[in-house]
Amino acid sequence: DTAVSQTPKYLVTQMGNDKSIKCEQNLGHDTMYWYKQDSKKFLKIMFSYNNKELIINETVPNRFSPKSPDKAHLNLHINSLELGDSAVYFCASSSLAVPEFFGPGTRLTVL
Amino acid sequence: GENVEQHPSTLSVQEGDSAVIKCTYSDSASNYFPWYKQELGKGPQLIIDIRSNVGEKKDQRIAVTLNKTAKHFSLHITETQPEDSAVYFCAASGVYQKVTFGTGTKLQVIP
């Protein structure tokens, strides 16, 4: 059984479009995260939620909006996509003070 | 904010040899230091962690050491195997559980 799942795995879209990435964890963890990994493999925190409440909101453009409908889900909606948004986005969950299980990633390509 | 530096960026070792990856951090408030392994096309995997009240921790072939005074921590892999080949990330966690990642080390184990 997959612990942290993300959909879609690949997302190719045009500049200016709006898209969403979904994440679900079946581990019963209270904390979920979104990370962005750029082409140089650098991992940067975007958002962190604890029990549906936002606790970390890094300097991310407000075109990015996370939504946590319940403890097991954390979705990421991106408005007005730009070329620089192209990256791999990882969802993660944890029962620790650091991300414990990462999803398989969503490779976003903006054309 | 926290700054985590990681060296080397690439490391090649012969199978059976040891590999050492070193990191430094800047924020003395950081108190939790996880290490992640990322295989090609997958999300990072938490492999070991160490807290600031511990100087060393070992789990089979991997060990981590922490020098809080010098703000250094290291990952040691002994008896390397081809399946150890991956990108390894160190990280530091402090205030508000914000985790800052190092820039990654690509480890290649040559059979």
Tens digit of pLDDT for each residue in B14-58?
Answer: 999 999 999 999 999 999 999 999 999 999 999 999 998 889 999
* Per-residue pLDDT reduced to its tens digit, B46-102: 999 999 888 999 999 999 999 999 999 999 999 999 999 999 999 999 876 789 999
Cβ within 8 Å of A, B 25-84:
32, 34, 38, 42-46, 49
What is the predicted pLDDT for the residue at A57? 79
Question: Quick one: pLDDT at residue A25?
Answer: 97
CA distance A42 to chain B (A): 6
Residue B1 has pLDDT above 90, yes or no: no
- B43 and A45 within 8 Å at the Cβ level: the answer is no
C-alpha to C-alpha distances, A55 to A10, A73, A80, B14, nearest whole angstrom? 28, 15, 25, 44
Chain A environment of B103 (Cβ under 8 Å): 40-42
- Chain B positions touching A98 (Cβ under 8 A) are 32, 34, 46, 49, 91, 93, 97, 99
Cβ contacts of A44 on chain B, cutoff 8 Å: 101
* Ranges of residues in chain A whose predicted pLDDT is under 70: 1-2
Per-residue CA distances from B13 to A32, B19, B83, B104, B106 (Å) = 36, 7, 13, 16, 11
Those residues whose C-beta lies under 8 Å from the C-beta of residue A19, and which sit 6 or more positions away, are A11, A13, A77, A78, A81, A108
- Across chain B, where does the E strand assignment appear? 4-7, 10-14, 19-25, 32-38, 45-51, 56-59, 62-67, 72-77, 86-93, 99-101, 105-110
pLDDT for the residue A1: 67
